[in-house]
Amino acid sequence: MGATCLILSMIEDRHTILRDLTLEQPIKAFREISMDPFGDGHCKVRLANGREMTALELQDEICERVETYAIKRDIPGDQLEALRLWRGVLTQLRVDPLALADRLDWVAKYSLIESLRTKENLPLTDPKVQLIDLLYHDTDPQRGLYHRLASKGNLIRMVDESRVQAAVTQAPETTRARMRGAFVRRAKEKNRDFTVDWVHLKLNDQVQRTVLMKDPFKSHDDRFDRLLNSL
């Protein structure tokens, strides 16, 4: 998220140019890269300007430009930390990708699958392997393999469990999620029928009152206050 935030900031900055790193066929490149998870040179994607790069080379170049951008700007500390972690991951991918199993989700799952395949000499199509693929993402703490790894201290966590649980019911105060969360909570308390998506808050009553929230960073709105007070 931190790296993405920095890249978006660069794109919004008129003095920063990233167009020379535009992919010729983004969807095709995405599929090709997915077949070369470690980006070790087996797959090169073509840029719009004719250059060919591996996914790792492309990320290296983007990261280098972000680092240059960060030096010239007043970047928040959490984004600087994200940049440091990003660079560390790119470096480690060239040295020993499997060493990242404690911090990269896909490497952790890959390690589990490969461990099972090696132990029992199984193909990727074996039902046992496919089950591991599914169980890794099971959100039930008792069944999910991710949760088992985390409980054993095999995964590095950015925040503790108490903050994770708080985020389940407490929306960020600085985005429209604050209004969305408050609306859902109040509507449930009042047993009202409602519909919610990213940009709409709607009461499914005779009037069909609706509030449109287009700005993701707007956390307060008079129209929302009136809708909430009407419940």
Summarised one tens digit per residue, pLDDT across range 195-216 is: 999 999 999 988 889 999 999 9
Phi-psi region of 48 (alpha: psi -120 to 50; beta: other; left: phi over 0): alpha
Instruction: Give pLDDT, residue 73.
Output: 87
The pLDDT score that the predictor gives to residue 72 is: 86
| 8-17, 61-70, 187-196, 216-225: range with lowest mean pLDDT | 8-17
Q: What is the pLDDT of residue 119?
A: 96
pLDDT of residue 74: 85
Question: Which pLDDT score is estimated for 40?
Answer: 64
Convert 127-143 to b/e letters by CB count within 10 Å (16 or more is b): eebeebeebbeeeeeee
The whole-number average pLDDT for the span 168-197 is: 93
Q: With 0-12 CB in 10 A as exposed, 13-18 as middle and 19+ as buried, what is 212?
A: exposed
Look at residue 42 in the predicted model and tell me its pLDDT. Answer: 72
Whole-angstrom Cα distance, residue 196 to residue 203?
9
pLDDT of residue 38: 75
**Helix H or strand E encompassing 99:** none
pLDDT at 110: 95
Summarize pLDDT for 50-86 with one digit per residue, the tens.
Answer: 999 999 999 999 999 999 999 888 888 999 999 999 9
Rounded-to-integer distance, Cα 68 and Cα 141, Å: 41
Q: What is the pLDDT of residues 76-135, one digit of tens each?
A: 899 999 999 999 999 999 999 999 999 999 999 999 999 999 999 999 999 999 999 999
Tens digit of pLDDT for each residue in 24-45? 999 999 999 888 877 666 789 9
Helices 77-95 and 55-72 cross at an angle (nearest 10°) of: 150
- Enumerate the domain spans of the chain: 1-95, 97-158, 172-229
Residue 69 CA to residue 67 CA, distance in Å, equals 5
